[in-house]
Chain A
Amino acid sequence: MPGDTLTLLADRLRGPLGDQWVITDPVRLRTYECDGLTYHRATPGLVVLPETAEQVSAVVRACAEAGVPFVARGAGTGLSGGALPRTDGVLIVMSRMRRILSIDLPNRRAVVEPGVTNLAVTEAVRADGYYYAPDPSSQQVCSIGGNVAENSGGAHCLKYGFTVNHILALEIVSPDGDIMQLDALDPGYDLLGAFIGSEGTLGVATKITVRLTRAPEVVTTVLAAFPGVAAGGKAVSAIIGSGIVPAAIEMMDALAIEAAEAAVACRYPEGAGAVLIVELDGPAAEVAGHFEQVERICREEGAFEIRVADDPAERAAIWKGRKSAFAAVGRISPAYIVQDGVVPRTALPGVLARIAELSAEHGIRVANVFHAGDGNLHPLVLFDDAEPGAGERAEHVSGMILDLCIEHGGSITGEHGVGVDKARYMPKMFTEDDLDTMQLVRCAFDPKGLSNPGKVFPTPRLCGEVPGVRKGVHPLVESGKAEQF
């Protein structure tokens, strides 16, 4: 039965999209079965590759009419299973919508299609002295549409903010198939802000106006080696507390350093129990002033070696280890789980100590590589998938780390999103009323619940009739003194 519906849908879409962009061949469908979180897999019922907003609209409208769920997919680098397809639904792949439509430097903005990669935006304006500030580590491949859906961050978001702070307007296809404009210029509810970070559950972004940021005059990168994470964590607090907002503060612990050395030979100071990468950028005078303070604080907190990079080559050398860290863990462990919890920055030392205890208690190694400046942990929970029970233990430790974050007033995800992976943790962080209220937004945009269903919320809310239950007509309306819309 669903098969028939999808066959009819495919037939209907071949006209508007062109034969070759409607994929039904099972082998080709399989290539889209997961995103960056590979242990969730599902073969999509149908894959389409539209090239224009009108085509996206045609697809979504057809889905709405047939009651078929749809999932947008950018580059598929997501780490929470957000782009996990539906076997009974349509996967809308944005990879053909990759044009940069306009660059408007006087207005510091560019209009791009959702399939454009994050880095491509920066590359298009770099020569003019501008860049696109949010910089997920996946920026060479991830798409701006995916960034919008996840409200992605990156190392430099400490100073510059997240995707939501850099999007000025969106064209979206609503879950009914209507093309709509959400613009920061508009007064009223900030629907632009509400859409960003909604993980594809409120519609499909088809055109994105990004804010461009002026490249800073000076960038100074400091690598400080500490005996352990406790000292590093204290240095982070002291830097933030001193009134400096660095562009980035990243930390790696001994195990993460070991992995990075094995993979890319980054040659971080020998014997370091933790390294801190602090990047300062801005006007020369300010950076110079802040650098002195950062160096002094690091020494006071026990840094035994400090390296400084002022040019791109030296900077790249410092960042090399950090940037390779995720992939590098593969060198020291057959399998791993990446977590993305957040804690208040002042809680960092305590939380890191507790993670070390959990690791020891359960005999599961945990490598820490993280955005220390904003308390966003990325514990890599290592295990051997060949060893019976190891996966479960790793999963258990990983869940306990999230509990720890919630206990400290933090969050279960700082940038990777909830997706399918963390939906079950949402009730630990939010009450039922919180989740139900959030889903009122969903009901407004997508009453049929067809846009990326099963993500973010553990239990979907039934939207009921529009506009919901009424308690009778108000006397003023009845008497004609007020109108109801």
Chain B
Amino acid sequence: MNEAIEAAIARHRDQPGPLLLVLHDIQQAMGYVPPAAVPRIAAALQLSRAEVHGVLSFYHYFRDQPPGDRTIRLCRAEACQAVNGDALARHAAQRLGIGFGETSADGRHTLEAVYCLGNCACGPSLLIGKELHGRVTPERFDELLDGAEPAP
């Protein structure tokens, strides 16, 4: 853990406005930003802990818990709602047995709501890791879940 944090700090501490860069690097390496990292980041960047914590909590993308093996980011915005996105959202939650913002008990899946993936002519859309999928029906969702390889 400390290695990833130190590396992120070392890489960015001399850039202007480095905090988001550091947090992104840590989450990229570890999947989340451990709360224990906050004092270290604060000291290294000469910020208060409250400032670091304030930034972490402001942005929906950052998390303080390790995610499941695969993170599914499902679009809940209007253009996807127009093509049965709500039914897909219900199906996904039911199939995974979790709500939005939760990780399954077996640690395999994290489900998150996002608002628009820029794929609004091909909805409903979702990201699995960094892979985008369009026109996802409930059946297609099950195929993706059963077939896809774990992705970060």
Same complex for A and B? Answer no
